[in-house]
Structure 1
Amino acid sequence: MEEGKKRMAVLVGCNYPNTQNELHGCINDVLTMRDVLVNHFGLDLSHIQLLTDAPAGGSDHIMPTGANIKKALGEMIDQAEPGDVLFFHYSGHGTRIPSVKHGHPFRQDEAIVPCDFNLITDVDFRQLVNRLPKGASFTILSDSCHSGGLIDKEKEQIGPSTITARGSAHSDDHKPKSIPFATILQHLSSLTSICTHEIGTHLLELFGSEASLKFRLPLHDGSILWPELLKPDDGILLSGCQANETSADMSPSPGGGGKAYGAFSNAVQTVLKEHSGQLSNRQVVMMARERLQANGVEQHPCLYCSDKNADAVFLWQPQENN
């Protein structure tokens, strides 16, 4: 990597403590990833922003609300210059919502679930990628359910497995990182007291201009709002599972010690630690798939990016002699 080029990261872990949706390993995931970024990739700690829904070290604790996450990502992209490497790691719940696109009444779109339920959708991530300066890269690692396709219209490189399976571990020590659409709708309805199944109505009522672009602008088929959608770009998505699968939040065995963790985050972090050399985005996803399969976890990580970036080095790690 050329001298002077920046590498920046936003790490978000949502455990939803003291709620019926509580997870246990998501904050651990991003804390471990912070260590990997600093120790393995040489990122400056001051270039890593951490957002968690419980204090996790550091004096500047920022809650991972929808607005705060989008602000952190937007500021990172605003600082980017050609050649910079941007990284977003999300560990938390994901969901699927009915498509609002014209002609897709039965299609479902992907979203992540911040701690305040202000959903961040595939369209929001597409908009962020479209703002990227030419020559910079933006890698998203999403350890959440239904995360395949989280960047709208990004090209699939490694997709649905030939073995059809809805992701679930073969053990009792996991919880799916998924909140059903009906549960989200019920929660938002209780806050707005509006009687409608249109989730966008509730989100706009609660969050206004901070709600997802999906509900604030007419998308039609996407071509009017995002004319550059189908051009190759430097958005890179490593998803914890296929769009129709769940990702596992693993808890340690009773009395066995250890920490809770996300199955996909742990697989990627283990792969990176075990290989001192450079790995391509394709290699990271395939090795993570193999590790999950060996551990009996039935979820299939996917890769979405341009052909060029599929075989580009993960996070464009600099040469060892630099």
Structure 2
Amino acid sequence: MEQQGVANRRLAVLVGCNYPNTRNELHGCVNDVLAMKETLLTRFGFKQEDMEVLTDEPESKLKPTGANIKAALRRMVEKAENGTGDVLFFHYSGHGTRIPSVKPAHPFKKTKLLELVNQLPKGTSFTMISDSCHSGGLIDKEKEQIGPFSSGDRAPAMETTTTTTTSRALPFKEVLDHLSSLTGILTSDIGTHLLELFGGDASLKFRLPTIDLMDLLEKMKSRERHVDSGILLSGCQADETSADVGGGGGKAYGAFSNAIQTVLKENGGALKNKELVMMAREVLEKLGFQQHPCLYCSDQNADATFLSQP
């Protein structure tokens, strides 16, 4: 809820990675985030100066490197203020991979955004759309509101012969082989490669404990925070891939991102988060895609309107 006399801010980080001129090139990811940018401006009250767009187009001033994405997210979180009802949005469109875990009970690690979400000031919301493979459950520990289908529940795929689709999955072995070629180190420990390549820019989970933990804790305590604000709309289940469509004469797009845009265009009023995901599922099913978007958030956020649209 907004404080009297204090307007809420709407902040966004939009990331689109097509990986041009590589063996894993995609075609629709930049189009996804540019379409979302226009939707945020015209429908949801976002302002140009409150959005950061990172793409790997040649003319892009801000490239979507890991360090740049983390810095952009950090800047967005730091702009949010206590009690103002600020709305934060992160759209990622690109490849996704699953990293094998050393724990037998958990065969794959998930990229955790919980640490970022927990840094939000009280009263703010954080919504993420991830149009990538294996994106289900990226905001760890958030409740599964719309979850995976069992194999028996899945509708049979329709034959689609008029469009070309590419999986947005990036095999872990391919990631590891590429990192090994860059570092010259033969190891399956991805953290070792990241430390060798990026040093201080590597994620904290891969770094030696050289940071001033007391200083970090003091900064985190400087604002009142809460831990139940993450909303994830994933393009597919954790065990599925997301489709990248086109790349020929027509305009390319991500299947899930396009489904979101379709639902928003066909429904002018405010939509609850769970309504938006279920409608996107219906769009994908009608078009013959075998991927099932999921929703992870609290019960309250499941019934909240997408991006707090009035």
Q: Residue 259 of structure 2: which of 267, 271, 282 is its match?
A: 267
Deviations 1:159-205 (A, max 9, x none): 11133669988436100001100000000000011111111111111
Q: Which residue is 1:78 aligned to? A: 78
Q: Which residue is 1:91 aligned to? A: 93
Q: Is the 8 A contact 1:232 1:306 kept in 2?
A: no
Q: Which residue is 1:43 aligned to? A: 46
Relative distance call for 1:286 and 1:166 in structure 2 (3 A) is: closer
* Structure-to-structure mapping, 1:132-147, within 5 angstroms: 132-147=120-135
In structure 1, stretches of 5+ residues that fail to align are: 111-120, 219-224, 226-230
> Are 1:203 and 2:194 counterparts?
yes
Specify the SS of the correspondent of 1:95. Answer: coil
Residue 90 of structure 1 aligns with an amino acid whose one-letter code is Y
> Are 1:276 and 2:271 counterparts?
no
Q: Which residue is 2:206 aligned to? A: 215
2-side partners of 1:177 and 1:213: how far apart?
27
Residue 21 of structure 1 aligns with an amino acid whose one-letter code is N
Cα offset, 1:79, TM superposition: 0.6
Cα offset, 1:274, TM superposition: 1.4
Q: Is the 8 A contact 2:118 2:227 kept in 1?
A: no
Q: Which residue is 2:277 aligned to? A: 285
> Are 1:250 and 2:250 counterparts?
no
> Are 1:296 and 2:291 counterparts?
no
Relative distance call for 1:311 and 1:132 in structure 2 (3 A) is: same
> Are 1:28 and 2:31 counterparts?
yes
Deviations 1:125-155 (A, max 9, x none): 1111010111100000000000001112221
Relative distance call for 1:68 and 1:283 in structure 2 (3 A) is: same
Residue 65 of structure 2 aligns with an amino acid whose one-letter code is T
Cα offset, 1:48, TM superposition: 1.2
Q: Which residue is 1:176 aligned to? A: 167
1-side partners of 2:66 and 2:158: how far apart?
29
Q: Which residue is 1:222 aligned to? A: none
Residue 129 of structure 2 aligns with an amino acid whose one-letter code is L
> Are 1:309 and 2:297 counterparts?
no
1-side partners of 2:173 and 2:253: how far apart?
26
Residue 280 of structure 1 aligns with an amino acid whose one-letter code is K
Deviations 1:217-263 (A, max 9, x none): 79xxxxxx9xxxxx8510110000000000000006x5xx4300000
Q: TM-score, normalised by structure 1?
A: 0.83
Q: TM-score, normalised by structure 2?
A: 0.87
Cα offset, 1:215, TM superposition: 2.8
* Structure-to-structure mapping, 1:231-250, within 5 angstroms: 233-250=228-245
2-side partners of 1:78 and 1:17: how far apart?
32
Q: Is the 8 A contact 1:168 1:246 kept in 2?
A: no
In structure 2, stretches of 5+ residues that fail to align are: 210-216, 218-225
Q: Which residue is 1:64 aligned to? A: 64
2-side partners of 1:42 and 1:11: how far apart?
16
Q: How many matched pairs?
A: 287
> Are 1:189 and 2:180 counterparts?
yes
| Identical-residue share of aligned pairs (%) | 63
Task: List structure 1 runs of 4+ shifted beyond 6 angstroms.
Answer: 165-169
Q: Is the 8 A contact 1:167 1:246 kept in 2?
A: no
Cα offset, 1:99, TM superposition: 2.4
Residue 108 of structure 1 aligns with an amino acid whose one-letter code is F
Q: Residue 155 of structure 1: which of 101, 118, 143 is its match?
A: 143
Relative distance call for 1:16 and 1:166 in structure 2 (3 A) is: farther
Q: In terms of Rg, which structure is larger? A: 2
